[in-house]
Structure 1
Amino acid sequence: MIHTRSLASIALLGATALVLTACGGGQPEPQGAAATEVSATVAQGGDGPAYTYDPKLVPAGATVAVTEAEQDGSTVTTLRVTGLLPNRTYGAHAHTKPCTAASGADAGPHYQFSEDPVTPSVDPSYANPMNEIWLDVTTDANGAGESTSTVPWVFPDDRRAEAVVLHEKPTATHAGHAGTAGGRPGCITVDF
């Protein structure tokens, strides 16, 4: 079974607003893939699906697009950004719960295909880019960037990721800190 979902393209409007629009162009879809688009405009503190918690790190006018495709037992997720801070690396990961207006923490922990029995999960045998969807993105001089994650599994129907969170720092990989990436300046509810 092959399916692709263009999940979200978000633009910040004003100091505290995000715009969620469909991800239209970009990478080609796998042969036979069906596309799904989600569009909305959301102000910080309003009704989701997207929020900004730190407009200094996710400036007005920025855009974020997330695309997910499952094919041949693997999941490919792509993150595209524009208008973020230039020459900066943001951590980004799929999370277990949808975004809320209250806090980026409400999106829960990182989605893990094989769940760590210990929380928070900082063990590199669980918190790693093959067991989680890591989308760290480094922006260019114009604040644009793109990253792709390919994992050797697909989401089970009863346990799927519900958000992609932008973090303030690159993702750590060493024991005791694996998977950590600092604060959560932005969150996008998705439908993987």
Structure 2
Amino acid sequence: MNILVVYAHPNEDSFNNAILDSFKQKISAHHQVKILDLYKDNFDPVLHFDKDNKRRDLKDSPSTQKYRDDLTWSDHLVFIYPIWWSSMPAILKGYVDRVFVKGFAYEYKGVVPVGLLPNKTATVITTHDTPNIYARIFQQDYGKVLKKQVLKMCGIKTTRSITLPFLRNTDENERNFFLNKVSDYAETL
């Protein structure tokens, strides 16, 4: 299987980086894996519209061609990122805005969106600092925008979501348990 890991965290010493390392260490050598670290790649998240950059032409933009090629190549996507302000980091949002574009990732038949990336699956691995009970009851969409509003619309089925809530209040045992959970998942792919 071709697996594209999309990683979005600016700190190499972060717990999210430990998650990425745990995943990479346990993923089977039977798979082809590409890691896209949006920060290391210096991905430009800014979407430009002007007379030279029309929205309808984003599907053909040379500046995002390699990212579209990686998506086309992949069978399975793994997103690893923290949830900040109830959402993904801005660099990941910019990646979605510039790469998952109309004519490439989706189109409309009348008013109904139709995904153009079928037969692909995804896993979303997140961390956040909000107590779990608050995130589940008061912010029911917490961290689910990627899964429900982006991937689903593009025809990609999210098969697994793994979240570590209230990261700032976890101890070493809880963090190791979570890393083992990610490692176990990577081994099952």
Same-fold call, TM > 0.5? no
Q: Relative contact order (alpha carbons < 8 A, sep ≥ 6): 1 or 2 greater?
A: 2
Report the structure number with the largest CA radius of gyration.
Answer: 2
From the two aligned structures, give the one with the greater helix fraction: 2
Between Structure 1 and Structure 2, which shows a larger proportion of strand residues? 1
What TM-score comes out, normalization by structure 2 length? 0.31
